[in-house]
Structure 1
Amino acid sequence: MNWFNCFACKQKTVDNVKSLDFSRTSLNEVPGDIFQYERTLENLYLDGNKIIDLPRTLFQCEELRHLDISDNEIQNIPNLISKLVNLHTLNVSRNCLKYTDVPSAIHRCQKLAIFDISTNTLEKVPEGLTSLINLRELYLNDTYIEFLPANFGRLCNLKILELRDNNLTTLPKSLRRLSSLVRLDLSNNDFAEMPEVIVSMLNLKELWINGNCISSLCPGIGNLQNLLDFDASKNDIEKIPQEIGRCVKLTNLILSNNLLSEIPEVISNLKLIQTLKLDYNCLDSLPYGLGELVNLEELDVQNNRLTSLPSSIGYLRKLNYFVASHNFLVYLPPEIGSCVSLTVLNLHNNMLKKLPEEIGHLQNLTSLGLIGNKLEYLPIPVANLPHLRALWLTQNQSHPLIPLQTEKLEGTNQLVLTCFLLPQIQQIREEKFLPPQNISVPKRHIAFSEPGIPKELPVRLTRAPTPYPKDFQRFQRSLNNQLKRNRETTGSIPQIKEAKVTPMKETGDVYDEEIDDNHHLKPVLDNQRHGFNTDITSLDGSDQSKGSLELQENLSCVATQPKQPPPYHIAAAYSKNAKLFNNLEGLSGDKPKNFTQELPQNVNVTQPTPYNKIKAHVDEGFLKELNTRLMNAEVQKNNINCESHQCNMKLLRVNLTPCCYVLGFSITYNEKGVFINKVDENGNAFKKLFPGDKILMLDKQDLTKMEPWQAYKTVLIQGPETESFFISRYEGH
């Protein structure tokens, strides 16, 4: 009898299994053991494995509510997914799914509330997805989609919609029906302006539009009175609308890396704000109303043009973290001593000559950064800060806290603090000057050696920052776009018809044309025609060994594509490309060209493509205008007569492989523009860019029409993702 009871208990335990977790167990297929629990199984976790196919028997577990098959190698979702009618949560992110691999039969899973299909190469929203009207959370991050279908508004029960890291430029008007939406993430897309449909989502609490090309915010943003978190960083916003003062529930406002020149006084209405980030902008001052943000805990205004801080900063009694480095502050208001909760105060790289005595009231201060100022001494109250653990006076400090000594000032007998690092030596900011050309500075080296011991060769160590996963995703998107363009080019070649060609004798006295090894059209101009040398060259910095294997295979297919002779297309393409060069305008059209039977691989049928901020084609008219403007400016400045003197400036296009967020060179700027300062020997620009090169254009971004500091900032932000650099270079490199 006892044995029978034990058997009954064991059998009951087996039958009532509701959850199975096979996460990260290196599985190549779905385990067969799960099918014996098909009547009771509700939660199944198979994420982080190497599963490629989903077996038919998996979909017999009709009681399944939570299915996680993310981070696998799944290439197709079977139509049998429709049998899981009780499915509540489905996670298929980080797989190998495409648009056609998601069946339309998924619309029968009407109880599905949470669907995560992020990090798949969908390129389009699956058809059956918009029929899942009970969805509450939808994650479509990093899926390469360029638009949302017009009927996307059918998902009216959505509360969370994440669309970051895609290629979206607009949103359909049907999204107005998403009245229950609480979180909307549109970061890292290609929006040129803030979509107006957003202002109709009145229940929105989180809005993320960072990492786009938005130049202004909609005045209707004031309608979002329930908004708590708003991130519009890494855009081109120049002005904040007054209506933002109506978002009285805001607690986090992030406007970093924009082009803001002022902050409106209405920001004082945001009484509940706790985090305010205004770093990397163009602010000359902060509004006095900043002091009314009594709940503010974190304030970041680094890398602006501030010369002073408002005295109202003393009202920020809850301020815990304050960063104002890389500005032009010459004076710190004594009211800073009223910020009694302050623990971190960073004032690096300003122009401070002294600190107020009231800084001794900051009894909770743990870190004080004063590197790169003009301080001659420190006030005595600094020695009485009980919790101070770091006092930074120079970048070469061996310890965060160094001993201080008292000293009397001559003439006034004032007692102050000093040390061997004071007074500070103000370093010249290199970005205000051109890099020196061909100047060799002798290097000093101290070495210790003993007789009989061979000298060791010096070892050069280089260090590159480790990119974040988000930057890797952008790099992967850039490679995929290049792969897609190569496929389109390959598909258009066979459509060109063959025609007879009559070879013509080459004249060679005006200009010649050739195709280089990288399939670029290279004109050879008669440079003496106008008295100056204006060469436009293409330097290809791409390295196939660093690209994906799929991209290399595709490029090899393009290289082995059979050639067909289309002489009339060649003639049309050559004459069109010839417009890129200024010196060809006045040439006579009677002089023949020398064509061959071979089709250059850079000739293809032009296809209309949407605007893409990462990969943009060069506008011919713009290049012509740019060249003319540069030549005229150079001639006027130096009083050069182009008929009797030769200008040795060259215009070049340098193609580089994007390296995530790593810029393979350092830059500087002055009133003339942005210049290359130093090139990393291990970077992607080595032997392609040189110190002294002036950067004129990033892809389609014209730097010559910007203020120098704006162009400098643009290169720092967009440079790592840029493929084509247009530069000017004087002869000698």
Structure 2
Amino acid sequence: MNDNCIQFAHKAIVKSHAKHITNKINVTFQPSHVCDNENCSCILEIKQHIIVNKIVHLNLSNCNLKLLPDSLSELPLKSLNLSHNSIVHIPSCLLNGLESIEDLNLSYNQISEFEVEPKSILNLQVLDVRCNDMKYIPIWLVHAKSRSLLELYYSCNVLGKTNENLYAKIYSYDLRKLVLKDSYILNENISFLKSIRTLEVLDVANGGCKTYRNCFTNCDELLDHPSWENTIKILSMSSLNMGFFPKNMICLQSLKELYIADNALFWLPDVIGKLVALEILDISNNNIYFLPNIISDLKNLRVLKLQHNKLTDIKLLGELVNLKLLDLYENDLDSFHLDISKFKCLDLEKNCFDTSLLDNIYSEKRFYYRNEYNLKFRDIGYNEEHSTDFNKSESDCDCIYSEDSGSSNVIPCDNYKEECWDDIKIESHPDVTSSDDEWQGYFPTQQEEQKQKSQKSCLSLERLLEDLYADVD
């Protein structure tokens, strides 16, 4: 690190020492730019300080690190953040020391394998290895020694070949949160996931990584797990190209947050009304045309995201008394009759009606919602694409239609002359008979059509010859 980083570190320690902190000190390095020294020599400078044995939290993210000094293993760290660096191999100081670490962040590096279990395995509670180059999940994670692990973040790596029997043997294993976004999960990995019995948060969605997208298709098999009925609280299955809502979702009776956005859902079954513990439901970016009547049973629902769907009627949502955030951006609604004052966040833009006619309180709630959730890029106004036919007047139509639904919709113009195949027309066209306009009960093949044309050509030639002979005579 440069001199500025060293001075900042020293100031933090001296300032803490001046306050007579004797138990522990939180030192965080947050340089304003990428450090020039990849070996981070300022760590050695810190070690020479009188109160170095009190440092328990260390943040070395975004420091362009490739290596760490072995002497770092002597620090009594509880948490270590090494994210957003250039680390290829697990530092030896981490494998051979730092036994007190509970929170280890190695995300956004270039680590390809983590075969050797670290000394901190007994106390490690949170491990973050997202966005590396790992091709299989570390095998030591399923050892009995890692029973303290509560949270594992493994997104944007390859889950690889898994063995569910290893987890099944660890009865004291207490993993609560498992994040596997874009981890190339296959159907053969489902048994492995189900072997983790204590999960409260499961994220198997896809995000922005196209290389390691999750490819499993049997969502119902994954959710058919008796051990999860009273454990899973948060489930994310977005961007899995699901065409049907998993029926076994009903098994998750303790589910409080469900994220199934960016799928291919056209409708929601009545099963969703059985998830009465739901507080957050995100079904945005689908093709849902209507909501089931039973959705009014979700009385605990606080957040409902329905943006980018095809909804035309949302009257049932008026029965959700605890609903505070409602996102209906870009749907097919032609009006909104719910009580706006009950919502804290509301977005009704890009529908088929003019939101400027609503009370000013709506614009305030919309502004607050977009500002709070970083949605300032959204447009304001009605959806012109969906409203073109709706707003078109009769005078703009190319065709004029009758109001009498019992008769023909097309009104004939003044110079209209009805044509019919009457006897006079048949007599004036000897080649045409009444049977020519009758359907024979099947569609002729291409060979039959050619045969018919050939026969008609021969008949016309014969008549032409007869006429010639008649002229000669």
Same-fold call, TM > 0.5? Answer: yes
- Distance, in Å, in 2 between the alignment partners of 1:59 and 1:360 is 63
Partner amino acid for 2:146?
A: C
| 2:108 counterpart letter in structure 1 | T
User: Is 1:110 aligned to residue 110 of structure 2?
Assistant: no
The one-letter amino acid paired with 1:137 is: V
Matches within 5 A, 1:265-344: 265-268=247-250, 270-330=252-312, 332=313, 334-344=315-325
Q: Deviations along 1:361-382, whole A, 9 cap, x unmatched?
A: 6651464626343x6999xxx9
State whether structure 2 residue 201 is matched by structure 1 residue 213: no
User: Equivalent pairs: percent with the same residue?
Assistant: 17
Q: In the TM superposition, what whole-angstrom CA distance separates every residue of 1:428-480 from its partner, at most 9, and x where no partner exists?
A: 9xxxxxxxxxxxxxxxxxxxxxxxxxxxxxxxxxxxxxxxxxxxxxxxxxxxx
What does the per-residue CA deviation read over 1:322-346, in whole Å, with 9 as the maximum and x for residues that have no partner?
Answer: 444444445x264443234445555
Cα 1:47–1:278 change in 2 (3 A) is: same
Query: What residue is the counterpart of 1:371 in the other structure?
Result: 350
1:129 and 1:327 map into 2 onto residues whose CA distance is 48
Counterpart position of 1:78: 69
Instruction: Go from structure 1 to structure 2 and tell me whether the alpha carbon gap of 1:300 and 1:64 turns closer, same or farther (over 3 Å shift).
Output: closer
Secondary structure in 2 matching 1:161: strand
Amino acid at match of 1:189: S
Cα–Cα, structure 1 residues 55 and 291, in superposed 2: closer, same or farther, change >3 Å? closer
Q: CA deviation at 1:68?
A: 0.9
> TM-score w.r.t. structure 1 length?
0.40
- Give the Cα–Cα distance (whole angstroms) in 1 for the partners of residues 55 and 109 of structure 2: 23
Aligned counterpart in structure 2 of residue 258 of structure 1, from 233, 240, 243 = 240
Cα distance per residue 1:629-648 (max 9 Å; x no partner)? xxxxxxxxxxxxxxxxxxxx
Candidates 179, 198, 221, aligned match of 1:185 = 179
User: Could you say which residue in structure 2 is the equivalent of 1:95?
Assistant: 85
Is 1:204 aligned to 2:195, yes or no? no
Q: Secondary structure at the match of 1:198?
A: helix
The answer to whether residue 388 in structure 2 is matched with residue 425 in structure 1 is yes
| Residues 462-611 of structure 1 mapped to structure 2, 5 A cutoff | none
1:160 is aligned, of 151, 159, 166, to 151
1:140-183 deviation line (CA, Å, top 9, x unaligned) = 23332223444443442322222223344344664554712222
Name 1:169's counterpart in structure 2. 160
Equivalent position of 1:140 in the other structure: 129
Q: What is the rounded CA distance, in whole Å, between the counterparts of 2:3 and 2:271 in structure 1? A: 53
After superposition, give the CA deviation of every residue in 1:34-81 in whole Å (9 maximum; x if it has no partner). Answer: 79x9xx785362512336225657557783451514122443223334
Per the TM alignment, residue 99 of structure 1 is displaced from its structure 2 partner at its CA by: 0.7
Q: Structure 1 residues 196, 54: closer, same or farther in 2, change over 3 A?
A: farther
> Counterparts of 2:330 and 2:78 in 1: how far apart (Å)?
54
Residue aligning to 1:446: none
Per the alignment, residue 512 of structure 1 pairs with none
Unaligned ranges ≥5, structure 2: 207-212, 367-377, 392-473
What value does the CA root-mean-square deviation take over the aligned residues? 4.6
Q: Structure 1 residues 199, 103: CA separation in 2 closer, same or farther (over 3 Å shift)?
A: same
- Aligned-partner residue type, residue 257 of structure 2: T
Counterpart code for 1:259: N
Aligned length: 349
Describe the SS at the equivalent of 1:27. Answer: helix
Look up the equivalent residue of 1:215 and give its one-letter code. Answer: F
CA shift for structure 1 position 133? 3.3
**Distance between the aligned counterparts of 1:396 and 1:280, measured in 2?**
22
**Which amino acid in structure 1 is aligned with residue 41 of structure 2?**
D
Cα distance change on mapping 1:33 and 1:146 into 2, 3 Å: same
Q: Which has the higher strand share?
A: 1
How high is the TM-score relative to the length of structure 2? 0.58
**Matching residue's letter, 2:122:** I
- Relative distance call for 1:262 and 1:55 in structure 2 (3 A) is closer
2:133 & 2:237 partners in 1: Cα distance?
26
Greater Rg, structure 1 or structure 2? 2
Match in the other structure for 1:27: 6
Judged with a 3 Å threshold, the aligned counterparts in structure 2 of structure 1 residues 99 and 285 are, in CA distance, closer, same or farther, namely same
**SS across alignment from 1:337:** helix
Residue correspondence of structure 1 range 52-71 to structure 2 within 5 A: 52-53=40-41, 63-64=53-54, 66-71=56-61
What SS does the corresponding residue of 2:104 show, helix, strand or coil?
A: strand
| Aligned-pair CA distance for 1:202 | 1.7
Indicate how the Cα distance of structure 1 residues 24 and 255 shifts in structure 2: closer, same or farther if over 3 A, else same. farther
Residue pair 1:365, 1:388 contacting (<8 A) in 2 also: no
Determine the C-alpha separation between the residues in 2 that align with 1:342 and 1:34.
47
Describe the SS at the equivalent of 2:235: strand
